[in-house]
Amino acid sequence: MPGPEKAGRFDIADIVRAHRAELESAYTLSPEQKRVLTDIANCRTAALGGHLDRCTSCGYEHPSYNSCRNRHCPKCQALAQEKWIAEQRARMLDVKHFHVVFTLPAELRALAAFAPRTVYDALFHAASRTLLEFGESRLSATIGATLVLHTWTRALRLHPHIHAIVTGGGLSLDGLRWQKARRAFLFPIKAMSRVFRGKMLDEIKRAYEAGEFARFDDFQDPEGIRRLLRTIANLAWNVYAKPTFSKGEHVLQYLGRYTHRVGISNSRLLEVTGEHVRFRTKDDGTETLSPVEFLRRFVQHVLPVGFHKIRHIGLYASAPKREQAHIHLNLPPPVLRLSCWREQLLALTGRDVSVCPQCSSPLITVVVARARDPPELAA
């Protein structure tokens, strides 16, 4: 019998380098999608330059190439996530939180693919207003929440949804006390679902009237928008909620799993050949695609340039209100503790890049110049 498959043997960058030309001959890519593919292909290669770690005693040498730092690159997210978590420690209140998920219905996915910035902004606005208004009406308080957009399923299909980590209570509207939410649940799910649906319908109507969907095929018929709105108005929209943790540090680690996740990581690749890519999906299932179809599904999750996929609302968007909440909760003042990338790497991997792995002597760093394009490609 074959042994267990070793994770990490395959790299999405290799698929990009081998099959990008086929992808671009079959599909029209946006400038953002092309940039992402270029960055992934160049990440941690001589194309981006780097440095050489050299031991002062035994002569050991090891090259380390620079990361592309693209937010869609599966190899660049671990350190970015740890840095983000460290920065959020000064923002997060040490109280119970709830995890709420707002999902766009399948009937709006084609519209999201056509106008991602407009539809995803609308999704954020509808989810944010739903949470804030329920905080005001049900708790008479301003809650705090961090919202993160995801657009994929485990099979890389388009599935836009927002993960919201929400305080289990809020600062009273008069600012004089902390209003605690019920222990078992935050707000009634069915009521939140109806309000979220109504707000999203309003957002879609406004965007249509502003001409945001002018070239969308389904709306060339003037009845198209009305048919779509009638259809989704009759659906039961999916809003899901559950408690997370009672301690802020645990909430941060939980939230960190969502903030810098990309559609797929290298560790989920099980088999890569010239003809197919097989990868792990939900509940240990697998999906097998042609390399071109794999890349097509991957790039559909590239976000517009400058689009903020992580947003804060309520207490988490207002430092003065957060300070008031700290006082009423009798919490110590927040402390920002940032560590350098070497310390973060040590915490993540146990690897100390400042000492030689062979003799433990100090390493010195020698800069490696960025590789230059051949003259005929440089223009």
Does the pLDDT value for residue 302 go beyond 80? Answer: yes
Q: Are 365 and 51 in contact (CB under 8 A)?
A: yes
Pick the range with the lowest mean pLDDT from 30-34, 183-187, 217-221.
183-187
How many CB atoms lie under 10 A from the CB of residue 340? Answer: 9
Does the pLDDT value for residue 1 go beyond 50? Answer: no
Structure confidence at residue 369 (pLDDT) = 67
* Integer CA distances (angstroms), 205 to 63, 127, 235, 237, 350, in order: 54, 16, 17, 17, 52
**Nearest Cα to Cα of residue 328 among 109, 112, 95, 83:** 95
Does the pLDDT value for residue 175 go beyond 80? Answer: yes
pTM (predicted TM-score)? 0.86
For the chain, how many residues are written? 379
Structure confidence at residue 344 (pLDDT) = 56
Taking only the tens place, the pLDDT of each residue in 77-129 is 877 777 787 778 778 898 999 999 999 999 999 999 999 999 999 999 999 99
Question: How far is residue 310's CA from residue 337's CA, in Å, rounded to a whole number?
Answer: 21
Structure confidence at residue 3 (pLDDT) = 38
Tokens standing for 47?
């194309």
Question: How far is residue 127's CA from residue 124's CA, in Å, rounded to a whole number?
Answer: 5
In the block, tokens 């030309």 appear at 21
In the block, tokens 């983000």 appear at 84
Question: How far is residue 195's CA from residue 193's CA, in Å, rounded to a whole number?
Answer: 6
Cα 16–chain centre separation: 21
Q: What is the mean pLDDT of the chain?
A: 88
At 240 the three-state DSSP class reads strand
Question: How far is residue 283's CA from residue 60's CA, in Å, rounded to a whole number?
Answer: 43
Structure confidence at residue 263 (pLDDT) = 94
> HSE of 257 in the Cβ direction (CA atoms, 13 Å)?
8
Query: Maximum Cα–Cα distance for the chain, whole Å?
Result: 76
Structure confidence at residue 294 (pLDDT) = 98
In the block, tokens 């001589």 appear at 46
Q: How many helices (H) and strands (E) does the chain have?
A: 11, 14
Q: Give the whole-number percent of the chain exceeding pLDDT 90.
A: 65
Taking only the tens place, the pLDDT of each residue in 311-361 is 999 999 999 999 999 999 998 766 555 555 556 555 555 567 778 888 888
Question: How far is residue 250's CA from residue 97's CA, in Å, rounded to a whole number?
Answer: 10
How many CB atoms lie under 10 A from the CB of residue 18? Answer: 14
Q: Which residue has the higher pLDDT, 186 or 61?
A: 186
* Integer CA distances (angstroms), 138 to 78, 82, 87, 110, 188, in order: 38, 35, 31, 35, 10
Q: Are 322 and 315 in contact (CB under 8 A)?
A: yes
**Rounded average pLDDT over 57-70:** 85
Taking only the tens place, the pLDDT of each residue in 259-280 is 888 999 999 999 999 999 999 9
Question: How far is residue 97's CA from residue 244's CA, in Å, rounded to a whole number?
Answer: 6
Structure confidence at residue 284 (pLDDT) = 86
Q: Which residue has the higher pLDDT, 366 or 194?
A: 194
pLDDT band at 248 (very low <50, low <70, confident <90, very high): confident
Does the pLDDT value for residue 373 go beyond 50? Answer: no
